[in-house]
């Protein structure tokens, strides 16, 4: 079993579920976030920006000193922006891209020495394929995540690193609650989903755990896995 699961955005709803699932499965968990709520969930926790190269170097040096190999990096940290495109500032763009996409580049490259023979799981979004008004920047960032997933899968295969992406739909987190107007809107979202349910953070965690498994997912790389209750399969005209 690989030494560590390195989970970014560990203080959020999905991040906490990831940490719990991987710990239960016997992994040592290392969390990274701007907030410290995950300290009690992860075996180790780093407070700071996921796109900060200095923090990434601190993490990889600590893991290398411990002889960590075949780790799994889960790029889960995300920043949502709900704002009309014409009102979006350069600063808005930079903040979203830094957290959602630049961090994937920085961490995947810097942590590579402890990922050899392991894997990377990128948490993207269904917005990478179909989006809505006010989410253009978020959609662009998540589209970039799926694109870099394919590129890394090709380039890192020779190092034994598998790279896949999960595209969550509506998941019951604070981020979802902040993006919907009220309970009525949330209920409408549920009704529009073929499975008639809002996803749980554990749905994403269980899928990530499968993709990180070096035996069960040994032949899977460069793929996108949608976990959205069937939302993307449904025609918008229905």
First to last CA, the chain: 46
Query: Domain spanning 4-172+201-225: which superfamily?
Result: NAD(P)-binding Rossmann-like Domain (3.40.50.720)
Domain boundaries, the chain: 4-172+201-225
DSSP result, 21-63: HHHHTT-EEEEEESS-GGGGTSSEEEES-TT-HHHHHHHHHHH
Q: What pTM value is reported for the model?
A: 0.93
Q: How many CB atoms lie under 10 A from the CB of residue 46?
A: 22
**Active centre residues (catalytic):** 138
pLDDT value at position 179? 62
pLDDT value at position 237? 56
Q: What is the pLDDT of residues 41-96, one digit of tens each?
A: 899 999 999 999 999 999 999 999 999 999 999 999 999 998 999 999 999 999 99
Which of 206-222 are b and which e, b meaning 16 or more Cβ less than 10 Å from the residue's Cβ? bbbbebbbeeebeebbb
Q: What is the pLDDT of residues 11-30, one digit of tens each?
A: 999 999 999 999 999 999 99
Q: What is the pLDDT of residues 136-182, one digit of tens each?
A: 999 999 999 999 999 999 999 999 999 999 999 989 877 766 666 56
The DSSP 8-state label assigned to residue 182 in this structure reads S
């Amino acid at each position: 079993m690989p030494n560590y699961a390195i989970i970014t955005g560990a203080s959020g709803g999905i991040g906490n579920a990831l940490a719990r699932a991987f710990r239960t499965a016997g992994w040592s968990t290392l969390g990274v976030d701007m907030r410290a709520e995950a300290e009690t969930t992860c075996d180790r926790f780093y407070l700071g920006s996921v796109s900060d190269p200095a923090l990434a170097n601190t993490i990889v040096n600590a893991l290398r000193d411990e002889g960590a190999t075949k780790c799994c990096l889960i790029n889960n940290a995300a920043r949502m922006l709900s704002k009309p495109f014409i009102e979006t500032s350069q600063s808005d763009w930079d903040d979203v891209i830094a957290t959602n996409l630049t961090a994937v580049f920085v961490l995947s490259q810097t942590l590579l020495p402890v990922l050899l023979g392991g894997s990377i799981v990128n948490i993207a979004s269904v917005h990478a394929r179909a989006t809505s008004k006010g989410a253009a920047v978020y959609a662009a960032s998540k589209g970039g995540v799926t694109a870099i997933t394919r590129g890394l899968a090709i380039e890192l295969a020779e190092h034994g690193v598998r790279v896949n992406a999960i595209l969550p739909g509506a998941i019951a987190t604070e981020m979802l609650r902040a993006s919907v107007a009220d309970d009525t809107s949330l209920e409408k979202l549920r009704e529009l989903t073929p499975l008639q349910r809002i996803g749980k953070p554990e749905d994403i965690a269980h899928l990530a755990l499968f993709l990180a498994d070096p035996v069960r997912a040994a032949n899977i790389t460069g793929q996108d896995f949608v976990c959205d209750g069937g939302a993307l399969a449904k025609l918008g005209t229905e």
